[in-house]
Amino acid sequence: MAISAIGGFQRAHRAYTGPGGPPPLVNWLDTGEEAVSILREYLRIDTTNPPGGEEAGCIHLRDILAREGIDSELHDAGNGRVSISARLAANDGASASAKPIVLLSHVDVVPVEPEHWRCDPFSGDLEDGVIWGRGSLDMKGMGVMELITLILAKRHGVRLRRDLVFLAVADEEEGGHHGIHHIARTAPGLFDASFVLNEGAYGFSEFMGRQTKIFGLGPSEKSPCWLRLRISGAPGHGSVPHSKNALAKLVVALARIDAAEHRVHVTPPVEAMLRTLASKGFVPEELDPTDEATVQMLGSVDAHLHALTHDTVSLTSIRSGGKLNVIPASAEATLDCRILPDTDSDAFVAHLNEIADQPELEIERVLSHDSGGSSMDTPVVAAVNAVVAERYGEEAFVMPVLSPGFTDSHAYRHAGAEAYGFIPVLLTREELSTIHGHNERISIDNLQLGCEILFEVVRRLAAQG
């Protein structure tokens, strides 16, 4: 157990003020141990998607909630694809305008390549203050922080002027058909919310080669526009080439699409991110985030920043033919396109079609949604900033981020809620690289830190009508 972190909690505990009065006397040492044990057991439940099998994970969460006297509901989409919700009702003069806060997470995890792991990815091993396992960061760890927040609110009778909803869903990693979209169809009441906290932004303990403490807060994310391209031609004998070779045409189309340059575009969250970094000395203070040439130059040396300032296309598969001496009659390929939150997907697809310049090309959308965006001027943003400032003073800061990946938050943004990525842990570059990779893990310090900060942010939000 990390004594230094616990000392930090006690100091921080005394420091917190803000709406809702002084915080309850939480024993963060015990709470941390509780979170560790809940997470280890959660990680031992294999919810790899596909096939998912989230039911066992949800039952684990349901049993813990039941022990605390909190009712929950399972949402069964069939074949073991289960999500779980629980609600703490407002207990202090809720008004109709004060809609719930939703703590959102997903139960499923991405597949593993166990041969590259130092331990069994589903062991929940605890060693040297670190908990190992697929999902520890993405995102069972955050799910446990949210669960602990709900439990502490119940145990300590925290003043709630709005309902507090816990929602852990299936199938996020494969697009949410059996998870968030199933909930939208069968339990739309869960979408009646003001604020949502979810994945979509981590924090950094090092950034651009410097030790630091940066808490990421994500008001938006790039939108997926996954495409399947198909061309039909004419079959033939390989010994007699002709001009209707589908594979040849597709390859030309793909080469044109891959070579195309997309415009640089700085969206408001990225502008806010760059301004924050400039004010903290991570990029030159004179940097003008609205100057596209400068941003283009920065993006050319940093693939991550390039992705955040452009619509992007990755060619991911091609399928055609089967025999060396037969000209195939058709060919298809898939493209993983990620577009900026304010790019129109119809216009983007039309633009790709124009670039490909092949009249026979058909483009099918496999997955496409608009991620939407939330305001950076809301009580959520104020609470996160205040809690980080009160806990750390000048030692840490909050940075707006745009996530290059997408999350289930888009479903809530479409329903009118302000949804944010906010996983309050401070990760090294190496730890960040384990998400969807090998040896995913979370330190006990980070798990405890996340529980404490999330609880304090939610407590303040809940106290405001």
- Report the residue number, 139 or 148, with the smaller CB distance to Zn ion: 139
- CA–CA dist 242, 237 (Å, integer): 9
CA dihedral 307, 404, 44, 40 (to 10 degrees): 100
- Report the residue number, 144 or 257, with the smaller CB distance to Zn ion: 144
- Report the residue number, 372 or 421, with the smaller CB distance to Zn ion: 421
7 in Cβ contact with 141 (< 8 Å): no
Of residues 112-141, which lie at the interface with Zn ion (CB under 5 A)? 138-139
- Report the residue number, 138 or 221, with the smaller CB distance to Zn ion: 138
- Report the residue number, 54 or 199, with the smaller CB distance to Zn ion: 199
- Report the residue number, 23 or 143, with the smaller CB distance to Zn ion: 143
Q: What does residue 446 show for φ and ψ, rounded to 5 degrees?
A: -70, -40
- CA–CA dist 3, 7 (Å, integer): 6
- Report the residue number, 235 or 405, with the smaller CB distance to Zn ion: 405
Name the minimum Å distance from CB 109 to Zn ion.
Answer: 8
How many C-beta neighbours within 10 Å does residue 414 have? Answer: 15
Site size toward Zn ion, by CB under 5 A: 3
Which span (71-79, 141-149, 192-200, 447-455) binds Zn ion, by CB under 5 A? 192-200
- Report the residue number, 26 or 103, with the smaller CB distance to Zn ion: 103
Name the minimum Å distance from CB 341 to Zn ion.
Answer: 18
List, in order, residues 6 or more apart from 48 with CB less than 8 Å away. 108, 109, 110, 111, 112, 134
Name the minimum Å distance from CB 172 to Zn ion.
Answer: 6
Which span (96-104, 196-204, 214-222, 453-461) binds Zn ion, by CB under 5 A? 196-204
Name the minimum Å distance from CB 406 to Zn ion.
Answer: 10
Taking alpha carbons only, the member of 225, 253, 247, 261 closest to residue 364 is 225
- CA–CA dist 258, 313 (Å, integer): 7
CA atoms 179, 180, 186, 192: torsion sign: positive
Name the minimum Å distance from CB 135 to Zn ion.
Answer: 9
- Report the residue number, 55 or 138, with the smaller CB distance to Zn ion: 138
Instruction: Tell me how far apart the 2 most distant CA atoms of the chain are, in Å.
Output: 83
Which span (6-14, 81-89, 159-167, 197-205) binds Zn ion, by CB under 5 A? 197-205
- Report the residue number, 109 or 152, with the smaller CB distance to Zn ion: 109
- CA–CA dist 185, 314 (Å, integer): 32
Residue 188 per-residue DSSP state: G
Q: Which long-range contacts (CB under 8 A, 24 or more apart) does 12-16 make?
A: 12/390, 12/391, 12/452, 15/390, 15/391, 16/387, 16/390, 16/391, 16/456
Name the minimum Å distance from CB 450 to Zn ion.
Answer: 15
- For the chain, report the end-to-end CA distance as a whole number of angstroms: 38
Which span (60-68, 154-162, 194-202, 236-244) binds Zn ion, by CB under 5 A? 194-202
Chain position whose Cβ is nearest to Zn ion: 138
- Report the residue number, 40 or 134, with the smaller CB distance to Zn ion: 134
Which span (76-84, 177-185, 191-199, 345-353) binds Zn ion, by CB under 5 A? 191-199
Name the minimum Å distance from CB 416 to Zn ion.
Answer: 23
- CA–CA dist 74, 153 (Å, integer): 21
Contact between 152 and Zn ion (CB under 5 A)? Answer: no
- CA–CA dist 409, 196 (Å, integer): 8
Name the minimum Å distance from CB 138 to Zn ion.
Answer: 4
Strand partners, 400: 217
- CA–CA dist 357, 354 (Å, integer): 5
Name the minimum Å distance from CB 241 to Zn ion.
Answer: 47
- CA–CA dist 271, 275 (Å, integer): 6
Name the minimum Å distance from CB 102 to Zn ion.
Answer: 16
- Report the residue number, 139 or 331, with the smaller CB distance to Zn ion: 139
Produce one character per residue of 112-150: b if its CB has 16 or more CB atoms within 10 Å, e if not: beeeebeeebbebbbeeebbbbbbbbbbbbbbbbbbbbb
Contact between 34 and Zn ion (CB under 5 A)? Answer: no
- CA–CA dist 341, 264 (Å, integer): 13
Name the minimum Å distance from CB 200 to Zn ion.
Answer: 8
Of residues 227-256, which lie at the interface with Zn ion (CB under 5 A)? none
Decide: residue 5, CB within 10 A, 0-12 exposed, 13-18 middle, 19+ buried.
buried
Contact between 453 and Zn ion (CB under 5 A)? Answer: no
Return residues touching Zn ion (CB under 5 A): 138-139, 199
